[in-house]
Amino acid sequence: MQPFQRRNDMILQETWRTGHPTRIHRLSRSTASVTDTPLLVANRTHMTFTIAIDGPAAAGKGTVGRRLAARFGYAHLDTGLLYRATGRRMLEGLDAVEAARSLRRTDLDAPGLRTPEVGQAASRVAAIPDVRQALIDFQRAFASRSGGAVLDGRDIGTVICPEAEVKLYVTATDEVRAGRRHSELVAAGEDITYDEVLQDLRQRDARDSARAAAPLKPAGDAVVLDTSQLTIEQAVAAAIAQVLRVQGG
Ligand code: CDP
């Protein structure tokens, strides 16, 4: 068994503990209402609810994902970090597939994962089918955790969680995305121009969309959320409204 898979549960638990605000909805039989049917009790003891968020680079998936997770008390996984950590290890000289198979929780906290250089490396390793394969089990296990989960990436609604209850495809124009990412990077101390950011996003989007393995595209049943003209608050409100629509049946 591969080290990453063997340690899935540990990584997952740590992600829950150290990640964004989470609350585990786990009702024991004793706390369930007496009117609950056995089926309802069973559902509640292992309540899963998956929100899949996909979209091109810097579209706001992470922000929307984190805010949804906080709002509903779900766990959040930024799956881009898995590819960024793998890409970073490849830049250090490791074989990409080996790097993905031996990923550790601590690799996701490595400094510099958000830089364009690592983003490009992530996009290159992400086109390798064996790299994607090595990361599937962890993502699916996360998605099916009791208590609800939000995952953001490129293939969550199409490949990782095709049964997700909510699927969002978050997008925005190239220029808006580049402007937002440029501000983030400058705030983080990166010396980079707007044009360089725009070129980086376009290159990655083209590679991510054209690859044969799990290409970037909206799932057929995804709700498209174009945030070009929206503030963060408006985008988050629209995403919350969609989740509530689904939950309201
Ligand atoms: O934050 P940003 O949208 O710029 O990128 P990211 O989500 O951190 O993803 C970095 C790269 O990882 C992407 O350009 C994709 O190539 C790859 N990726 C992927 O292939 N599948 C995912 N589920 C997530 C990321």
Say whether 23 sits in a helix, a strand or coil.
Answer: coil
pTM of the model: 0.84
- Rounded CA-CA distance 107/104 in Å is 5
Residue 57 Cβ contacting ligand 1 at under 6 Å: yes
- Nearest residue (CA) to ligand 1, atom 15: 123
Q: What percent of the chain has pLDDT over 90?
A: 80
| pLDDT the model gives residue 45 | 54
With a 6 Å cutoff on the Cβ, whether 205 touches ligand 1 is no
Ligand 1 midpoint to CA 122 (Å) = 7
Q: Is 53 in the pocket of ligand 1 (CB under 6 A)?
A: no
> In residues, how long is the chain?
249
pLDDT tens for 107-134 read 999 999 999 999 999 999 999 999 999 9
Cβ of 84 below 6 Å from ligand 1: yes
Lowest mean pLDDT segment, chosen from 13-22, 73-82, 86-95, 189-198: 13-22
Distances in whole angstroms, Cα of residue 20 to Cα of each of 1, 67, 73, 74: 29, 9, 9, 9
Question: Between residues 14 and 159, which one has the greater pLDDT?
Answer: 159
Query: Measuring from atom 17 of ligand 1, which residue has the nearest CA?
Result: 123
Q: Using CA positions, which residue lies closest to atom 9 of ligand 1?
A: 80
